[in-house]
Structure 1
Amino acid sequence: MLTALEVRLRRRRCPLSREPLSVPRRTFLRQAGVLAVAGPVLAACSGGLGGSGGGSTKLTIGFVSPRTGGAAGFGEPDGWVLDQARKALANGLQVAGKSYAVEVVDKDSQSNPQRSAQVANDLINSNGVDLMLATSTPETVNPVSDACEAAGVPCISSVVPWEAWYFGRGAKEGQPSPFKFTYHFCFGTEQFHKSYTSLWPQVPTNKKVGVMWPNDADGNAVRKSLGPLLTQSGYTIVDPGAYTDGTNDFSAQIAQFKAENCEIFNTFPLPPDFATFWRQAAQQGYKPKIAQIAKTGLFSSQIEAQGQLGIGLAGATYWAPTWPYKSSLTGLTSQQLGDGYSNALNKQWNQQLGPSVALFDVAAAALKAAPDPKNKTALAKAISTLTVDTPVGTLAWGKGPVPNVVATPILAGQWRKGTGRFPLEYVICENANDPNVPVASRLQPYA
């Protein structure tokens, strides 16, 4: 017996062929129902299933993040965040006078690009998600975004420098956006540059920066954009060249940094790679005055794993409990998010709390803004002009820096020995990208 979806699609004409979609059921299932290519086929013939959804009163949101694998630190607060989102959505959403139940289905990307694409296609084809959310590193976010773009499913993502998300997926500078269904909010290299050049002068150095920028989406975006900006600001970049993720011997790079007396060190590595590098740097006597790390060192668990070598590392923060903003979906302030997480799990606040909750703020606002939240084309259009309050600030699409992207602030600070409940504390040392966030201390030299 044919399903209702099959009947509707057989009756519908595909504008690409101008012929009725009348095929045997086995062929139909093989071409459009089972394989991952179902999304592109249906998107081409129906604008991403842009109809009303057949009167369905349930909305399904997919959520993909790295709970395990090399980037698992980003997924530490996921369970708590998902609990808050599901509670806030328990009574459903009212859209254009109609009530919708809301289901959230979460998947672990395992920090692996192939796995990310697989779970995204599972959510699209098996769960029939109306909206996808994805977060944390290009290894997770970019494959999920690509799968959604191909299938015509709206997707909102975060915590990938926007250049690595936008240009890393094939967009070209100065050309129209190739993306119709995928949207993003995150800081970029301009925000890193402004933050670093606000922080680094707090410690006198020779302005020579040894960089470890990998051969991946993040590293390539940083090398192309951040390096020239730092050079323009008077810093000398010492770059031994792009290294392969998973490298286990950094002796050559360390020797070069020592030989050229790089008093500032900067890196955007996968967390296990930095742990390997930093241990070898200590063994080989490289100890810069400023050790500025990104993509790792974001969470207390990663710094605690470094032992004494972690104290004094300078890091970046895209959210903290002192952010003066709140979630429009849950109503919780940033401080309440941090305190609630710590009290519930007896763990130190984790900066991923902010953008992960923000994803659900955006999801709820987008679904309510669409005239028909089951119409994927209409939902994507609603996101393109959306303005919504979140813990990371007010997000407003349609204002640049490029189509589909909202650039958010990133601030810099330093990990120090804790003075209270937890063994470590992160203190914010500059706020050039968002003066509304209070500064707690000046940067202290690492060496």
Structure 2
Amino acid sequence: MVRQVDSGAGPSGLCIGAVVPRTGRLAKLGDPLSFVLDRLAPRLSQPARGSRRRPVRLAWRDSLSDPEAARRAVSELVHRERVQLVVTMAGTKVLPAVADACEEAGVACVTTTFPWQAFVHGRGGDPRRPFTWTYHFAWGLDDIAAVFAEMWEQLGTQHTVGCLWNDDLQGRLLRHAEHGFVPVAAGRGHRLVDPGGYQEPARDFTPSLDSFREQGADIVTSAATAEDLALFHRQARERGARPRLITCSRWLAYPRGSTLAELDRAGVATLVYWSPRHPYRSSLDGTTAARLAEEYEQRTGNRWLQPLGLAHALLEVAAHALATADDPHDRRSVADAVGRTRLSTTAGLLDWTSGPTPNVALVPLAGGQWKTGGHHGHELAVVANSRCPDVPVEADLTPAY
């Protein structure tokens, strides 16, 4: 599927390209970026008074939720649309495929919603030899561990924690001895029980449940899909197992009504990287996080999603790079502009000049829990904020018992 969002610039003008999962298993994850592209197209068509910003055309291609299709999408954007920069988000295999294709094509790329260790080490990167064209903003696996440990510690200082991690890239990085989740969690005094990875989609969590019971794990931490986590919870109930708390870093950022209702009883907590309550504004037009979420719900009929703020920030960074590049028509100049960006966005302050590793800017994390109530039936409330004090705590953490 091909679509161009015409924002007024001619074909020889500046163009930002986006690779968006519009079809396939990641299709729902493409909604925030599609909304932002439509919202910002007219705003980028005319430069602000007193600004260096030039008219920009937006164009996107469907990744089909497939890495090879995503690579083809990059090729089309580079060769047919002649983009100066590519943006994308979502997909543990699709996002790296887009970034690698941009690195090979020699075009600047900005990505998000992926732990930075996966962006770097999952692509065979080496901080001593940074990527030339690709840049990322997100959080780290170490940040996830710190936020989860903060929530565990609301139930006591030290715990035995069962690790429900897959056998793919995500699980391998989480258990990495140096730059993963393990050293931070263990360094805070928690004992981790890792029975080994499982294949997705999961069919039977009996080995993990047996291991957790034998080792006395009272908390479970996971990076499972919502469906696999629901299966784990059902099988745990059938075997009489009941963790006091489950922390999950993955798909619970994207609410699913029936799954949330089931996991509500399990005391599941997750990450909060953006919400309408975050005190951030767009660098393009001053839109607040609250207003952005409100517009999304009004126009789509769906509830706001955490990736919405990051999707908007992607386009803010792209527009900023074109406005500050020495020569916005030169792709090398645009990539250099991203690398020196320090910009307040709807995702907060993004600073590539002081990231944890080259080509990376950090997004702060809070801890949250889905609570029954509100006009959506379930609402995500902040329950731990030591690493993101800009966002106030809204509710107490509720364990399963």
The TM-score with structure 1 as length reference comes to 0.81
SS of residue paired to 2:88: strand
Contact residue 93 and residue 368 of structure 1 kept, 8 A = no
The corresponding residue for 1:307 is 261
1:271-298 residue CA offsets vs partner (Å, 9 max, x unmatched): 4433443443333333211110111111
| Whole-angstrom CA distance in 1 between matches of 2:58 and 2:335 | 18
Contact residue 246 and residue 273 of structure 1 kept, 8 A = yes
In the alignment of these two chains, the number of paired residues is 388
| Whole-angstrom CA distance in 1 between matches of 2:362 and 2:242 | 33
- Greater than 4 Å deviation, 4+ residue runs: 92-97
SS of residue paired to 2:181: helix
1:390-421 residue CA offsets vs partner (Å, 9 max, x unmatched): 11111111212111011211111111101x31
Indicate the percent of aligned positions where both proteins have the same amino acid. Answer: 33
User: What is the Cα deviation at residue 207 of structure 1?
Assistant: 0.6
Distance change (3 Å), C-alpha of 1:121 and 1:310: farther
Contact residue 15 and residue 83 of structure 2 kept, 8 A = yes
User: What is the Cα deviation at residue 193 of structure 1?
Assistant: 2.4
1:226-272 residue CA offsets vs partner (Å, 9 max, x unmatched): 11211111111111112233332222112222332321111113444
User: What is the Cα deviation at residue 158 of structure 1?
Assistant: 0.5
The corresponding residue for 1:373 is 328
1:83 aligns with one of 15, 33, 38: 38
Counterpart AA for 2:187? Q
Q: How does 1:10-25 map to 2 (within 5 A)?
A: none
User: What is the Cα deviation at residue 56 of structure 1?
Assistant: 6.9
Structure 1: gaps of 5 or more residues: 1-54
1:106-145 residue CA offsets vs partner (Å, 9 max, x unmatched): 2333433233223222322333221100112332211100
Matched, 1:228 2:228: no
User: What is the Cα deviation at residue 58 of structure 1?
Assistant: 1.5
Aligned Cα RMSD in Å?
2.3
User: What is the Cα deviation at residue 96 of structure 1?
Assistant: 8.8
The corresponding residue for 2:370 is 415
Contact residue 19 and residue 62 of structure 2 kept, 8 A = yes
User: What is the Cα deviation at residue 206 of structure 1?
Assistant: 6.1
Counterpart AA for 2:203? N
| Whole-angstrom CA distance in 1 between matches of 2:200 and 2:123 | 19
1:121-180 residue CA offsets vs partner (Å, 9 max, x unmatched): 23223332211001123322111000000110000011100000011111135x231x11
2:63 aligns with one of 109, 112, 135: 109
The corresponding residue for 1:390 is 345
| Whole-angstrom CA distance in 2 between matches of 1:439 and 1:116 | 39
Q: Which has the larger radius of gyration?
A: 1
Matched, 1:347 2:302: yes
Distance change (3 Å), C-alpha of 1:389 and 1:130: same
User: What is the Cα deviation at residue 82 of structure 1?
Assistant: 2.0
Matched, 1:188 2:143: no
Counterpart AA for 2:100? D
User: What is the Cα deviation at residue 92 of structure 1?
Assistant: 5.3
User: What is the Cα deviation at residue 94 of structure 1?
Assistant: 8.7
Counterpart AA for 2:306? Q
SS of residue paired to 1:401: coil
Counterpart AA for 2:42? K
Contact residue 329 and residue 360 of structure 1 kept, 8 A = no
| Whole-angstrom CA distance in 1 between matches of 2:236 and 2:13 | 54
Matched, 1:253 2:205: no
Matched, 1:176 2:153: no
Contact residue 371 and residue 378 of structure 1 kept, 8 A = yes
Distance change (3 Å), C-alpha of 1:410 and 1:71: farther
Q: How does 1:255-404 map to 2 (within 5 A)?
A: 255-301=210-256, 303-311=257-265, 312-404=267-359
SS of residue paired to 1:77: helix
Contact residue 146 and residue 184 of structure 2 kept, 8 A = no
| Whole-angstrom CA distance in 1 between matches of 2:61 and 2:201 | 24
SS of residue paired to 2:315: helix
SS of residue paired to 1:305: helix
| Whole-angstrom CA distance in 2 between matches of 1:249 and 1:176 | 42
User: What is the Cα deviation at residue 95 of structure 1?
Assistant: 11
The corresponding residue for 1:218 is 170
Structure 2: gaps of 5 or more residues: 1-9
1:424 aligns with one of 378, 398, 401: 378
The TM-score with structure 2 as length reference comes to 0.90
1:348-377 residue CA offsets vs partner (Å, 9 max, x unmatched): 221111100000110110000012111001
Contact residue 386 and residue 397 of structure 1 kept, 8 A = yes
Q: How does 1:50-199 map to 2 (within 5 A)?
A: 57-91=12-46, 100-172=54-126, 175-177=128-130, 179-199=131-151
Distance change (3 Å), C-alpha of 1:65 and 1:259: farther
